[in-house]
Amino acid sequence: MATRPALRCRNALAVAALTAVTATVPGALSPPGTAASAAAPAFDTTPAREALERLLPSRAAQFTLVPVAEPSSGASFSVSGGAGAIQVRGTSPATLLAGVGWYLERVAGIDIGWPGDSVERLPTTLPAVSGTLTRSATVPHRYALNDTDEGYSGAYRDFDAYRRDIDVMALHGVNEVFVPTGAEYPYYEALQEFGYGPEELRAWIPGPAHQGWWLLQNLSGFGGPVSERLIEARATLGSRIARHLRSLGMTPVLPGFFGTVPPGFADRNPGAVTVPQGRWVGFDRPDWLDPTGPVFEQLAAAYYRVQRRRFGDSDMFKMDLLHEGGKAGPVDVARAAAAVQRALDVAHPDATWVMLGWQQNPGAALLSGVDRRRVLIVDGLSDRYDDLDREKQWGVTPYAFGSIANFGGHTTLGANTGVWTSRFHAWLAKPDSALSGIAYLPEGTGGNPAAFDLFTELAWQPDPVDQRAWFAAYAARRYGGVDPHAAAAWEQLRLGPYSGPSGTWSEPQDSLFAARPSLTTAKAARWSPTTMRYDAETVERALSELLRVAPRLRNTDAYRFDVVDVARQALTNRARVLLPRIRTAYEARDVETFRALVREWGADEELLARLVGADRRFLVGPWLAAARSWGTDPAERDRLEYDARSILTTWADRGPSETAGLHDYANREWDGLLRDVYAPRWAAFFERLDGALVSGKAPEPVDWFAMDDAWARGHRLYPTEPTGDPVALAGEVHAALATSTRREASRRGVAGRW
């Protein structure tokens, strides 16, 4: 494997962790009655202790956290101790939490997932450890979060929500996290030194939900203008997030500067050369300031000065030149890359440049201009295509094995986990391997907890993971106890949605309920799979088994989330059976059958909305309420709400939304969206088809953008708390699916499966 570059986070805690001798926690940080060593600790465990108290408030006192110096071999932890007195030794605060996480899963038999947990199943006295559990990270980089995560996971979350996510990531062994929150601040401050006024910069900066694509140099301005108060508030939040990561010994990966500038930059700055970037899916892209020219160095220095003053230091910076069709123009790409790295190095000596492995980037020309030892490519395609050879493509450049298991934050269940378990260790074991990490890169987080759990575990397992055995163990800890029906449910999910093959896709198909209506539609988002990627019956069988799980395990948060999620997926999959039948009836001009099937479709939509309304994580209300909470006056609150609503529906104005196909890219089956966006579309569509059957005339066209845009610009209030019994509603779904199967079997004159 390639030698690891020198890119340890240089904050004080991490430096101490590398240089100090092993020591125990000071007495004040240990449970009452534990002895404290006189030796100086390797690092302060207080942040880990505080996180533990947030995650396990009634059991935290039963853990003793012992800091140890990190050896040259990398991060490690060990867990030992008797009942109620668990000792965890680790090489950073975050690694201590990873040790706690390993204990909870392997000894206590419970799960803290993202989302869902079974903490309530912990006994009053934590069970003893047999011997000592030890684990060392197999790779130094355990990276998390896509450039798009903030937009698709919620750009208007508060610090408590971000802190919870970070605590859970640490519990699963992550040590590097992308932090785009407040990234507009250094642009806003630095560009005022280069001829721009505050007002025009605030108009150039997009709304928070769309800022990820501005940082990628794809668009500007949409969802704005932003207020100075909002810029300041987001910078404050971003700095708190970065500070929390550092306190845990994790690296905040900050956005770097590679040349994005507003219109007219060269006119205002003599000597500057800018390259127009054309368009990106209907948007005018920002200009690119030639990094080889003299002004780039000055602007980059200003950017990094402002960024460091507000967000603190880091030694990892994320940036992508020429993303998704960017144009180099007359600029020599190798020289440009060298200049970008040089500017970063002046501001942050020996810092690592993080690049996204996506499409044809990073190309050979770009890599030829940089010191590859100080580059990390987070590969977004490791599990998507076959016949990949990253060493051949990228040479000795260190890279992280990554996966984008959903796009747009789709509420779709599944991932290519079989590819992960067969490919990761095989790539790591290659004689010339440059594989140096993992990169958890779904476009939206907060769903698909099994995928997150399995993927992050790859970095702590010395040998290939047995996928079947892993899912069996997961089923037991997910609900806090061994149950044959839970095991059978997760075996079906493993065989189905969690065994997607490589070759074409890294995510499962999305929802037809969320699609623009058509009798031939096969996907909701333009770039989603067009067919089922697994046998739909596996999910129906999983639902049947989940509903038979022992009552003692049904009260866990994890079970309540999963039973809603699996029932949602089972009902969603049935739409792909029902829609072709509706089409057949319509083309046969069979009005009676057409209307019966349309009623069935509508009943499924209504049931689906009630189902997801039973879990807060499937509600649109909190998403919209959070956006409005950031505004200081009605106009700003409305503007921010539109930013949050539009990214879920139209995504943009009519041009990019319709011509470029961005609409419904972030489709998701949430209550609110189902009731007021998706169901009205299909009702209008079927009503026109019905009218056409009666009149013999062509169906009247519908302006779908106008319908969606009206919702995106609306202000209807939605519930922020769930209603209904999730288990009972999942049972309704199961019964409805059984009825649908029997009905179809009756039509065909055969016995039903149920």
Q: Are residues 71 and 171 in the same domain?
A: no
- CA distances in angstroms from 540 to 102, 276, 572, listed in the order given: 31, 51, 11
Type of residue numbered 690 = D
Q: Place 28 in a pLDDT band, splitting at 50, 70 and 90.
A: very low
Q: Are residues 425 and 326 in the same domain?
A: yes
Beta carbons within 8 Å of 198's beta carbon, 6+ residues apart = 188, 192, 228
For tokens 């007021």, name the residue: 676
- State the DSSP code for 89: E
Q: What total number of domains does the chain contain?
A: 2
Classify residue 548: in a domain, yes or no. Answer: no
Helix H or strand E segment including 674: none
- Check if the beta carbon of residue 65 is closer than 8 Å to that of residue 45: yes
Q: Are residues 397 and 354 in the same domain?
A: yes
- Check if the beta carbon of residue 626 is closer than 8 Å to that of residue 611: no
278: tokens are 């054309």
Q: Which of 465, 493, 519 is the last residue of a domain?
A: 465
Q: Are residues 32 and 174 in the same domain?
A: no
In this model, does residue 114 exceed pLDDT 50? Answer: yes
Segment 371-386 mean pLDDT: 98
Q: Which of 119, 136, 153 is the last residue of a domain?
A: 136
Segment 722-735 mean pLDDT: 98
The Cα–Cα gap between 629 and 613 comes to 22
- Check if the beta carbon of residue 733 is closer than 8 Å to that of residue 607: yes
Q: Place 40 in a pLDDT band, splitting at 50, 70 and 90.
A: low
112: burial class by Cβ within 10 Å (0-12, 13-18, 19+)? buried
The Cα–Cα gap between 501 and 523 comes to 19
Segment 707-725 mean pLDDT: 98
Q: 3-state secondary structure string, 142-196? A: EEECCCCHHHHHCCCCCHHHHHHHHHHHHHCCCCEEECCCCCHHHHHHHHHHHCC
Q: Place 5 in a pLDDT band, splitting at 50, 70 and 90.
A: very low
Write down how long the chain is.
Answer: 754
The Cα–Cα gap between 300 and 96 comes to 37
Classify residue 295: in a domain, yes or no. Answer: yes
Segment 198-204 mean pLDDT: 98
CATH value at residue 84: 3.30.379.10
Q: Are residues 438 and 325 in the same domain?
A: yes
Q: What is the pLDDT of residues 252-266, one digit of tens each?
A: 999 999 999 999 999
Q: Are residues 47 and 71 in the same domain?
A: yes
Q: Are residues 345 and 401 in the same domain?
A: yes
Classify residue 129: in a domain, yes or no. Answer: yes
Q: What pLDDT score does 372 carry?
A: 97
Q: Which of 500, 468, 490 is nearest to 558 (CA)?
A: 490
- Check if the beta carbon of residue 393 is closer than 8 Å to that of residue 546: no
- Check if the beta carbon of residue 454 is closer than 8 Å to that of residue 470: yes
Q: Which of 465, 480, 505 is the last residue of a domain?
A: 465
Tell me: cis bond preceding 726? Omega within 30 of 0 counts: no
Q: What pLDDT score does 24 carry?
A: 31
Q: Are residues 332 and 413 in the same domain?
A: yes
Question: CA torsion, points 741, 743, 744, 748, in degrees to nearest 10?
Answer: 130
The Cα–Cα gap between 373 and 484 comes to 49
For tokens 């065989």, name the residue: 495
320: burial class by Cβ within 10 Å (0-12, 13-18, 19+)? buried
Segment 607-630 mean pLDDT: 98
11: tokens are 């904050």
The Cα–Cα gap between 703 and 406 comes to 28
Classify residue 73: in a domain, yes or no. Answer: yes
Classify residue 173: in a domain, yes or no. Answer: yes
In this model, does residue 33 exceed pLDDT 60? Answer: no
Segment 398-412 mean pLDDT: 97
Beta sheet of 274-275, edge-to-edge order: 260-261, 287-289, 274-275
Q: Place 39 in a pLDDT band, splitting at 50, 70 and 90.
A: low
Classify residue 691: in a domain, yes or no. Answer: no
Beta sheet of 76-82, edge-to-edge order: 63-67, 85-90, 76-82, 133-136
Q: What pLDDT score does 740 carry?
A: 85
Classify residue 94: in a domain, yes or no. Answer: yes
CATH value at residue 369: 3.20.20.80
464: burial class by Cβ within 10 Å (0-12, 13-18, 19+)? middle
Query: Minimum mean pLDDT among 5-19, 525-539, 616-630, 687-701: which range?
Result: 5-19
Q: What is the pLDDT of residues 51-95, one digit of tens each?
A: 999 999 999 999 999 999 999 999 999 999 999 999 999 999 999
- Check if the beta carbon of residue 517 is closer than 8 Å to that of residue 682: yes
In this model, does residue 477 exceed pLDDT 80? Answer: yes
Straight-line distance from the first to the last Cα atom of the chain, in angstroms, rounded to the nearest whole number: 53
For tokens 């579309």, name the residue: 681
Mean predicted lDDT score pLDDT of the chain: 94
Q: Which of 178, 172, 248, 177 is nearest to 460 (CA)?
A: 172
- State the DSSP code for 106: I
Classify residue 273: in a domain, yes or no. Answer: no
In this model, does residue 18 exceed pLDDT 80? Answer: no
Q: Which of 374, 344, 470 is nearest to 418 (CA)?
A: 470
Q: Place 744 in a pLDDT band, splitting at 50, 70 and 90.
A: confident
- In sequence order, the β-bridge partners of residue 317 are 254, 353
Q: Are residues 158 and 295 in the same domain?
A: yes
Q: Are residues 84 and 179 in the same domain?
A: no
Q: Are residues 106 and 161 in the same domain?
A: no
What is the pTM (predicted TM-score) of this model? 0.94
Q: What is the pLDDT of residues 542-574, one digit of tens each?
A: 999 999 999 999 999 999 999 999 999 999 999
Distance of CA 382 to the CA centre of its chain: 16
424: tokens are 């990761």
Q: Are residues 343 and 357 in the same domain?
A: yes
CA atoms within 13 A on the CB side of 707: 19
Segment 197-226 mean pLDDT: 97
Helix H or strand E segment including 399: strand 399-403
The Cα–Cα gap between 278 and 266 comes to 17
Q: Residue 412 is part of which domain span?
A: 141-183+226-258+290-465
Q: What is the pLDDT of residues 268-281, one digit of tens each?
A: 999 999 999 999 99
